[in-house]
Structures are given as C-alpha cells and as structure tokens.
Amino acid sequence: MSFLPKPKLHHPKLPTNALGYTRRDYEGAISTLCAGCGHDSISAAIIQACFELDIEPHRVAKMSGIGCSSKTPDYFLGASHGFNSVHGRMPSVLTGANLANRELLYLGVSGDGDSASIGFGQFAHSIRRGVNMAYIVENNGVYGLTKGQFSATSDKGSKAKKGTVNTDEAIDLVGIALQLGATYVARSFSGDKDQLVPLIKGAMRHDGPAFIDCISPCVAFNNHEGSTKSYDFVREHNEAMNRLDVITSRAPITADYAPGEVREVEQHDGSILRLRKLHAEYDPTDRVAAMHHLHERKAAGEIVTGLLFIDPDPRDLHANLGTVARPLNRLGDALLVPGAAALEAINTGLR
C-alpha cells in the first residue's frame, strides 16, 4: 500500500517542487537559538537543499548529538523522524539506524564540541567505516550551549570572549575526514548560502560518507575581535576552491562557461556535480593533493572552502558487510528464524 503525500495548504503562489511540496513543507518547529546564530542559516540551507532535490521529507532520518547545533534538527524537516541523542554519540546512533534500513537518507548534524571533542572517536570511526550519510558539523569553535568554552576546533591563538587565548592545537575535521576515507568532503560557511546549499545537495545525493565542515559563527560567545570563527574573520579569510551546482535530471544546463572552467563529476545515483573552478590547479578528485593543498593554504592563513574532495564511485558500510538489499528492519520471521527442525539438528550435534 502506498500513501499519497498530502502537502499542507499554503499560499497558492508559493512555488512547488516535483512532489508538489512547497519550501514550507520542509520546515520544522520555530528555532529557539539566538537571533543571528549561524546554525539557523544552515537549517535554512538544509530546507532549501531538500526542497530543491525533491526529497520526500519522511524518507530522511535526521540525527544529532547534544549542543545548540544538535538542537537544530527540530527546526527543519518537521515530517521526518529525528533523534537528538547524547553528546558526541550521534555517529554510532546514525550507523545503527543506517544498518537497520539502508533505504532512508541519513542526515547527521553535530557541533564542533560534539564531533571534535567528546565525540572525536565516533566521528572518526563512522567515517572510516563508510557509513552512507551526510554529516554536517556546525562549527563555531566553542561550546555554545554551555556558554562559550573553547572547543577542539578553536584555532591556536584564538581569543575567547573573556580574553583567554587558546593554546591548544586545533583539530581540522576536514583533514581527518580526508585521511579516514570520506568520499565527499566539503567546507563552507553559514554566511554563504549560495555555496552551502549546493554542497548540502551534493552530500545528500552522495552514496557514501559525505562530510561538510560548516563554519557557523556563535553570535553569543565567539563573534568578537580576536576570534577566528567570527563572521568578519571568516569573510576576510575565506578562499573558495570552486563553485558547485548539483544537477539532477530535471534541471537543464543553461549557463555558459569558458573552456576548462567547468568540470563535471557524475555521482552513483546519476546526479551531476558541476564544479566551476576558482583555482585552476585544484583537483577535487585527488585525495592526497587535496590534503596537501589544505595544509599549504592553512599555513598561509586561508580558510579553504568548497567541494574539496569527491570520489564519484564510493563504497559504503553495507557493501563492506555484504548485507542484503532489502532493509534489515523489513525482514520477517521466515527470513530470520531458522525454525524447530534446524534447532533439532543443532541439538543432535551437541550430544
């Protein structure tokens, strides 16, 4: 039995997507975050991306840990199941959910404290296991929810609101994701919606571990002079490698590009990632070169953004484990329970 989606009644002029949904059908509860918080812009970008991709909201499972960032799944995709789990442990919960039903889309939302501090291990292991997911870290360099302590992504030398200077080395989650085999790696900025929306779309259409480090200023605790995660600082130091367009079959190619300016990568599911190069020499399909470039530009004080790496032919955890195509949560007794006769044979072998 299938059920026809029944879009809510909205203003008749609101544009609809291929499913007949408006952008509002992808919204969630009202945000309780501070006005101007970067995280809210990311929620808006997620809504936009899912709307544009014609995703059925109920086919998405949104998972998070604990933090201001992890609260946000309540504020988008209200028709999706969501899971606000425990601090730093979203990756394992998402991994389990994915194992249970490989057919849904898994969107993991986390913070820099959640993923780089308490949950660093789970972040790393979910990536190296190849879980098919879009994993977004809303990175503000502090613990927002506990009022502004440094997190593990705070840059060395960065100044806290109260004046303390961070003396610890920062963890670059993009570098770790690259090293551990993520097959889609991007960095973006909550203040650059044009860049962020296509990056989220590409990640949602990627069939493997897709990771986005999204710098997302905390207006309450880390948007001051001396912070390296403030709106001003990021705008000044942002160096985009490319501009992405995600083209599904519905969207015809329109714009003109100069020769060599554009590179197209086809993903597993047929979607096309069209990359307009901003740095001619940057090759996002070369993992080692990407890592090298990242280190080099970081040393030069730049924040490198864009689609930094893409493996168009990824393998995921299910492929590694060799599980059946049908979701495990839909297998019934006949396929799972061996029965009395088989048990009697086991008994015989144990006598």
Partner 1 sequence: MRGPVTATNDFVVKFANVNGSGSASANQLFAKAILRMGIPIASRNIFPSNIQGLPTWFEVRVSGEGYLGRRGGVDLMVAMNPQTWERDVAEIDPGGYLFYDSTRPVPQSRFREDVHVIGVPLTAMCNAAYTDARQRQLFKNIMYVGALSALLQIDPAVVETLLSEQYKGKEKLAKPNQEAFQMGRDWALANLPCPLGLTLERADKVGDRIYVDGNSAAGLGAVYGGATVCAWYPITPSTSLAEGFERYAKKFRTDPDGRKRYAIVQAEDELASIGIVIGAAWNGARAFTATSGPGISLMQEFVGLSYFAEIPSVIFDVQRAGPSTGMPTRTQQSDVLAAAYASHGDTKHVVLLPEDPHECFAFGADAFDIADRLQQPVFVLLDLDIGMNDWLCEPFAWDDSRRMDRGKVMTAEELEAGRVFGRYLDADGDGIPYRTYPGTHPSKGAFFTRGTSRDRFAKYTEVGAAYVDNMQRLLQKFETAKGIVPRPVLRQAAEPTRTGVIYYGSSSAAMREALSALEAEGIHVDALRIRAFPFHQEVERFVADHDQVFVVEQNRDAQLRTLLMNECGIVPQQLIPVLHYDGTPITARFIRAAIGDKVLAQILPFAGAAAE
Ligand X SMILES: Cc1ncc(C[n+]2csc(CCOP(=O)(O)OP(=O)(O)O)c2C)c(N)n1
Interaction of residue 219 with ligand SF4, rule CB under 6 A: yes
Instruction: Select from ligand SF4, ligand X, partner 1, none the partner in contact with residue 52, using the beta carbon and a kind-dependent cut-off of 5 to 8 Å.
Output: none
Half-sphere exposure of residue 41, counting CA atoms within 13 Å on the CB side?
A: 24
Q: Measured from the CB of residue 19, what is the shortest distance to ligand SF4 in angstroms?
A: 31
DSSP secondary structure, 64-130, as one string? E-SSHHHHGGGGB-TTSEEEE--TT-HHHHHHHHHHH-TTSEEEEEEEHIIIIITTHHHHHHHHHHT
Q: How many residues bind ligand SF4 (CB under 6 A)?
A: 12
328 DSSP β-pair partners: none
- Residues 6 or more apart whose Cβ sits within 8 Å of residue 260: 277, 280
- The one-letter code for the residue type at 349 is G
Residue 81 Cβ vs partner 1, minimum distance, rounded to whole Å: 4
For partner 1, the closer CB: 107 or 186: 107
- Contacting residue, 91, 108, 111, 119, with Mg ion by CB under 5 A: 111
Q: What, of ligand SF4, Mg ion, ligand X, none, does residue 277 touch, CB below 5 to 8 Å by kind?
A: none
Q: Which residue is nearest to Mg ion (CB)?
A: 111
- The least CB distance from residue 197 to partner 1, in Å, is 23
Total number of residues shown for the chain: 351
- Alpha-carbon radius of gyration of the chain: 21
Binding residues among 141-200 for ligand X as defined by CB under 6 A: 142-146, 151
Contacts (CB under 6 A) with ligand X, residues 5-64: none
Tell me which stretch binds ligand SF4 (CB under 6 A): 188-196, 200-208, 213-221, 316-324.
213-221
What DSSP state is assigned to residue 330?
Answer: G
The option from ligand SF4, ligand X, partner 1, none interacting with 307 (CB < 5 to 8 A, set by class) reads: none
Binding partner of residue 87 among ligand X, Mg ion, ligand SF4, none, CB cut-off 5 to 8 Å per kind: ligand X
| Residues with Cβ within 8 Å of residue 293, at least 6 apart in sequence | 282, 304
Q: Which residues lie near partner 1 (CB under 8 A)?
A: 1, 3-6, 29, 56-59, 61, 63, 73-74, 78-86, 89, 91-101, 103-104, 121-122, 125, 129, 318, 321-325, 328-333, 335-340, 342-344, 346-347, 350-351
The 3-state secondary structure of 114-128 reads HHHHCCHHHHHHHHH
20 vs 4, 17, 56, 96, 239, CA distance in Å? 11, 5, 10, 32, 37
Chain centroid offset of residue 193 CA: 15
Q: Which does 323 bind (CB under 5 to 8 A by kind): Mg ion, partner 1, ligand SF4, none?
A: partner 1
Is residue 113 within the footprint of ligand X (CB under 6 A)? yes
x/- letters, 54..93, toward ligand X (CB under 6 A)? ------------xxxx-----------------x------
Cβ pair 240, 276 in contact under 8 A: no
**Token pair for residue 210?**
């897709």
Residues 6+ apart with CB under 8 A from 10: 22, 24, 25
Report the nearest approach of partner 1 to the CB of residue 61 (Å). 5
Minimum CB separation from ligand X for residue 37, in Å?
A: 8
Residue 112 touches Mg ion, criterion: CB under 5 A: yes
Give the residues lining the site for ligand X (CB under 6 A): 66-69, 87, 111-114, 138, 140, 142-146, 151
Give the residues lining the site for Mg ion (CB under 5 A): 111-113, 140
